[in-house]
Chains A and B, each alone.
Chain A
Amino acid sequence: MTGSAGAEPGAALERATPAPPCPGAARAICREPGDAAFVVALCALPGIGPAMLRALLARRGARACWDAVRSGTLAVPTSRRSTRDDHERLARWRAAAAGVDPADLLDRARERGISVHVLGDPSYPALLARELSAPVVCFTAGAGDLAGLGSGPEPSDAPARVAIVGTRSATHYGTEVAADLGAGLSEAGVCVVSGLAAGIDAAAHDGAIAGGVTPPLAIVGGGVDVVYPARNRRLWTRLLAVGTVLSEAPPGAAPERWRFPLRNRLVAAASDLVIVVEAHRSGGAMYTVDAALARGVLVAAVPGSVRSPASEGTNALIADGAAVVRDVDDARALLELVRAGQRVDRRRSRPARSQPDAPAGDRPTRTTVTDMRSPSRTVPAEVTDAAGHLLAAFDDHATSLEALLARTGLGIGAASLALDRLVESGRVRRRAGLYERVAADGGDRARREGVGRAMLPSLPDVAE
């Protein structure tokens, strides 16, 4: 989730010409048959983002755009920075477009089981269509239909959707909670939405697949056929077998960094409720939170240990008033509230989302969390040996040897010996038959505490 933000190429332009807030049908892109192929071809141009694509297509038809790119006659000021950049970009596009047959591109995607949905098509997910920065085109793969997103005009009968997001460097606590939530929500008939990244995302999807009732939805940064990260391959395959993978990047698109914050806005847009399981003070999960808040989507967080850096973000969210989710029941109760609110909204014939939309890809405006100091703890360098494995296997609770063995896969001999050395070196504490990791800067802390004790006698003076 934590794709760091590169500015999307067309973000500035998006601000200049905001699309009108109207249903997807009114913004239909395909004005004549065969346009879908040209939209796909345009979308596959290097470095073109959803906002720029939208801007291009707002001015002329898809076929005309494509022809202009091919002939080098595209006369659109694509950036306000400098015309030289524009010329370079246009030249790149022209080179990339040479020899591409749009119809062939579309056919090949369909042959590989990838569905193409252009804004305005009946198959286009209704919920994304209502999104101000709706993708012009999106691609889906997998066995799940798009019911999770409401392909019909009335998405109210679609199952509720809950995003479960969080840090990629999650603790065992986080992944276990995410998996439990994913499984519980799936069993409760809720579509679990996440980004299929490492850590919390993967755990949530894993749980949702295990729950097995409601097909999960994954919204990914790269093409729907590009497995990223590679170690998620098996999960990816399992998810495709039951659920849906959705992306606004064309098939084969590499998961470039700038795509992830954009992906996160879709995760927020597609969900009735966003649950952050674990998040550091800053990172991709926080982009999703900001996108959700901008759209009036309720944000909830799972509380964690106040000593766990991976829970700093979520705990801060709770301190700021986010709803607390401890288990599936909490999540379902919140979801009930949200859905009840939506029903009221519909009866009053008001737009479902009352808050103004934030420009896509813009830096978040909520700063309480992200402005705090950066995370202090990282995975230690010595992850290669047993001790490192063990250190990485600790969460912020007292842990049994049994659990450590299960998490690391180490043999009992190697683990016992390594634990002994860790206790010896003060990295780990043994208490009542359980092990606890001493804070990473334990040595420093101990020293500080020593100093603190030495200073105690002077405290009354300070108080006065």
Chain B
Amino acid sequence: MLASVHSATLTGVEGRPVVVEVHVAPGLPGFTIVGLPDAACREARDRVRAALLSSGLAWPLQRVTVNLAPSGVRKEGAGLDLAIAVGLLCAAGRVDPAAVRGCAFLGELGLDGSLRGVPGTLALVDALVDDAVVVPLRSLAEARLVPGVRAFGARSLSEVVDVVHGRGKWLESGPGDPTGASPGVAAPDSAPDVADVAAVRGQRVARRALEVAAAGGHHLLLAGPPGAGKTMLARCLPGLLPRLDAAEALETTKVHSAAGLPLPSTGLLETPPFRAPHHSCSPVALLGGGTSIVRPGEISLATNGVLFLDELGEFPSSLLEMLRQPLEDGSIVVARAQARATLPARVLLVAATNPCPCGEGGEPGACRCSPAMRERYLRRLSAPLLDRFDLAVAVRRPSARELLERPPAESSAAVAARVAAARRLSRGRGVACSARIPSDRLDELAPLSRDARRLLGDRIRAGELSARGLDRVRRVARTLADLDGTAGPVEDEHVAVALELRAGRDVLSAGRVA
């Protein structure tokens, strides 16, 4: 007898509907899964059998064939367990197929018949909008984030069978749900690795750069000696960014869910993520990929948030070069022999680097590296990569007096308010943030005042600014004007500051600092 049940599997961060076809026929008792299952999926046989027996349901002593359609797509993980079990029960005549029509099932089975959550629930449910979806109770909050979905929760296989038989009702709220009685294990709502900018002493230029980066979405490079507070500054950035809007939050949550990372108790990531991969990380970990199944990398996990690369000079240069295309496109296409996925990669890139191997290059007279050593060190940072950074700031160690005597500066909340106002101005022009203004619309969206034009002209004539650099300076100047509340043309002051905020490039490109 044949039964088919709807479910879904994950490709990259997108769900893909899967029809689980179960055929039970007389013959030697056996169990075969076909349709490109991965190892975890193939092992469903043993989990399903144990779960059925634990739940007091009989295992058909017949020949069972499970086909996962479309059979050309790789199926991964244990998320299809529940669908296979339900399909098996239908095919064996224990459950009325009509009762599960229009219903999709997601969930991993424990040997005792309990239901466990699946990575990527959000994306999977998103792919099943035509059906009512039954998910493990723990994932119910996440599943309900999908607009227009009918999702129900269950704790165990026997519960599912009971409801299908009309002996019970689907659970409406789960432990992760705010209305639920018992709180589940979830990520804390505010990320602990986000610092408040009030804790930064001195560093007015770098603080301004952070604010501009947050308001305009400009990639930021911090260059300075160890102990200057580069990491601290970078960790402040997520606190300055506006909260994610609905679409962004869904997109980011989808990626985090697909990677199996913990989600906040509401199921939805509403604060910008902050990812700081170590420089020893592999290309796959950074960009996403995998042998057969595409997993999101750090750049996708940081989407709509901050990707922080500390010690940029220590990353293999080949890895950094791979970053260039996704930074430009805001997405990354991971293609493998058996799978291909497009992952979001719309990050605000913040990088920190020492100016030279000894780290002291920014301090006049302090660096003792030979010019050749400096050159080797900086060669890893190719010009095209450096060009991605609209903002480059030299960070210097604050003096003891600054550390001890400076009163605490503005808090992140105060800066974030200005950032939000600037972003509103930018949205009013139809661009999410100034960094995304196309070059051909700069004259229209970021016109220059007469003085600003003259100032830029002087710099170009002096050979200090290239044509490509000009566009970047104009975008940053637009952001600065927005932060000032200037909706009209960009003034010379904004241009002057924009030029200052990329002066860190000179520290890197110059030889020994005189």
Which residues of A does B touch, CB under 8 Å? 179, 397-398, 400-403, 405-406, 412-414, 416-417, 419-420, 424, 430-434
Are the CB atoms of B455 and A412 closer together than 8 Å? Answer: no
Q: Is residue B203 within 8 Å, beta carbon to beta carbon, of the partner chain?
A: yes
A-B residue pairs, 9 tightest by C-beta: A432-B510, A416-B496, A433-B507, A433-B506, A417-B496, A413-B493, A433-B503, A416-B497, A416-B500
Are the CB atoms of A417 and B493 closer together than 8 Å? Answer: yes
Neighbouring B residues of A424 by C-beta, 8 Å: 458
For this complex, 14 residue pairs linking A to B, each with C-beta atoms less than 8 Å apart, are A398-B513, A400-B394, A402-B202, A402-B203, A405-B205, A412-B204, A412-B208, A413-B493, A413-B497, A419-B496, A420-B492, A432-B506, A433-B394, A434-B364
B51 shortest CB reach to chain A, Å: 63
Using CB atoms, name the residue of chain A closest to B402. Answer: A406
B284 shortest CB reach to chain A, Å: 36
Using CB atoms, name the residue of chain A closest to B399. Answer: A176
Q: Is residue B499 within 8 Å, beta carbon to beta carbon, of the partner chain?
A: yes
Contact with A400, one of B396, B484, B494, B496 (Cβ below 8 angstroms): B396
Are the CB atoms of B493 and A402 closer together than 8 Å? Answer: no
Using CB atoms, name the residue of chain A closest to B206. Answer: A402
Using CB atoms, name the residue of chain A closest to B209. Answer: A412
Specify which of B206, B401, B458 lies most central, judged by the most chain A CB atoms within 10 Å of its CB. B401
Neighbouring A residues of B497 by C-beta, 8 Å: 412-413, 416-417
Neighbouring A residues of B401 by C-beta, 8 Å: 179
Chain B interface, DSSP helix/strand/loop, else mixed: helix
How far does the alpha carbon of A431 sit from the alpha carbon of B509 in the complex, in Å? 11
Contact with B513, one of A414, A416, A420, A432 (Cβ below 8 angstroms): A432
Count the B residues whose beta carbon is within 8 Å of the partner chain — how many? 31
Neighbouring A residues of B484 by C-beta, 8 Å: 413
20 further contact pairs, Cβ within 8 A, besides A420-B499, A432-B514: A398-B514, A402-B202, A402-B203, A402-B204, A402-B396, A405-B205, A406-B402, A412-B208, A413-B480, A413-B484, A413-B493, A416-B497, A416-B500, A431-B513, A432-B506, A432-B510, A433-B505, A433-B507, A433-B510, A434-B513
How far does the alpha carbon of A143 sit from the alpha carbon of B73 in the complex, in Å? 86
Are the CB atoms of A401 and B513 closer together than 8 Å? Answer: no
A420-B496 CB under 8 A given contacts A398-B364, A432-B513: yes
Neighbouring A residues of B480 by C-beta, 8 Å: 413
Neighbouring B residues of A400 by C-beta, 8 Å: 205, 394, 396
How far does the alpha carbon of A344 sit from the alpha carbon of B494 in the complex, in Å? 67
Specify which of A403, A417, A419, A431 lies most central, judged by the most chain B CB atoms within 10 Å of its CB. A417
Are the CB atoms of A401 and B503 closer together than 8 Å? Answer: yes
Are the CB atoms of A406 and B202 closer together than 8 Å? Answer: yes
Q: Is residue B272 within 8 Å, beta carbon to beta carbon, of the partner chain?
A: no
How far does the alpha carbon of A416 sit from the alpha carbon of B495 in the complex, in Å? 9
Q: Is residue B217 within 8 Å, beta carbon to beta carbon, of the partner chain?
A: no
How far does the alpha carbon of A419 sit from the alpha carbon of B510 in the complex, in Å? 20
How far does the alpha carbon of A433 sit from the alpha carbon of B484 in the complex, in Å? 25
Give the residues from 270 to 299 in chain B that come closer than 8 angstroms, CB to CB, to chain A: none
Q: Is residue B504 within 8 Å, beta carbon to beta carbon, of the partner chain?
A: yes
A397-B506 CB under 8 A given contacts A402-B396, A413-B493, A416-B497: no
Give the residues from 466 to 514 in chain B that come closer than 8 angstroms, CB to CB, to chain A: 480, 484, 492-494, 496-497, 499-500, 503-507, 510, 513-514
A402 shortest CB reach to chain B, Å: 5
Contact with B492, one of A397, A417, A431 (Cβ below 8 angstroms): A417
Using CB atoms, name the residue of chain A closest to B502. Answer: A433
Are the CB atoms of A412 and B500 closer together than 8 Å? Answer: yes
Neighbouring A residues of B364 by C-beta, 8 Å: 397-398, 434
How far does the alpha carbon of A430 sit from the alpha carbon of B458 in the complex, in Å? 14
How far does the alpha carbon of A400 sit from the alpha carbon of B510 in the complex, in Å? 15
A367 shortest CB reach to chain B, Å: 35
Are the CB atoms of A432 and B402 closer together than 8 Å? Answer: no
A406-B204 CB under 8 A given contacts A413-B493, A433-B506: yes
How far does the alpha carbon of A398 sit from the alpha carbon of B504 in the complex, in Å? 15
How far does the alpha carbon of A405 sit from the alpha carbon of B204 in the complex, in Å? 8
Neighbouring B residues of A416 by C-beta, 8 Å: 493, 496-497, 499-500
B187 shortest CB reach to chain A, Å: 36
How far does the alpha carbon of A403 sit from the alpha carbon of B202 in the complex, in Å? 9
How far does the alpha carbon of A406 sit from the alpha carbon of B506 in the complex, in Å? 21
A130 shortest CB reach to chain B, Å: 38
Using CB atoms, name the residue of chain A closest to B208. Answer: A412
Using CB atoms, name the residue of chain B closest to A179. Answer: B401
A404 shortest CB reach to chain B, Å: 10
B232 shortest CB reach to chain A, Å: 15
A182 shortest CB reach to chain B, Å: 13
B491 shortest CB reach to chain A, Å: 9
How far does the alpha carbon of A434 sit from the alpha carbon of B506 in the complex, in Å? 9
Neighbouring B residues of A417 by C-beta, 8 Å: 492-493, 496-497
A431-B203 CB under 8 A given contacts A413-B497, A414-B493, A417-B496: no
Are the CB atoms of A420 and B455 closer together than 8 Å? Answer: yes
A14 shortest CB reach to chain B, Å: 44
Are the CB atoms of A401 and B500 closer together than 8 Å? Answer: yes
How far does the alpha carbon of A397 sit from the alpha carbon of B402 in the complex, in Å? 19
